[in-house]
Amino acid sequence: MPDPSPNLPLAGLICCALLCPGSLAQAGTALDCLPPLPPDAVRDDATRMAYASEIREEYVAYFDDAQSYLHCLESARAEVTAEVNRAIADYQALGPAPDD
């Protein structure tokens, strides 16, 4: 049986391309845009002080992901607007409806 390990880097790239936000071209529909999950609030003062740096990193990553999400939605909105405008132009090219 062949050794599957040479394919692991390729498998990792494929998984990242499918799962990592921002790694692909902007989405075509709003259904392709996944909202980020906000970080869990840390209510314990001792934990917040002990892990302040890590907590900040989580929030920064969340804000970056939220920005990517909003860009994705805007791209999807622009694409739908262009599709609607093309449909309007095609419809208008039909001319007036005949009287029945």
Q: What pLDDT shows up at residue 27?
A: 56
d(CA 31, CA 5): 34
Q: What is the mean pLDDT of residues 79-92?
A: 96
Which tens digit of pLDDT belongs to each residue from 26-62? 556 888 999 999 999 999 999 999 999 999 999 999 9
pLDDT at residue 85 is higher than 90: yes
Range of lowest pLDDT (19-23, 56-60, 77-81): 19-23
Residue closest to 75 by CA, chosen among 27, 19, 25: 27
Q: Residue 19: is its pLDDT beyond 70?
A: no
Q: Which residues lie below 8 Å from residue 22, measured CB to CB, with a gap of 6+?
A: 68
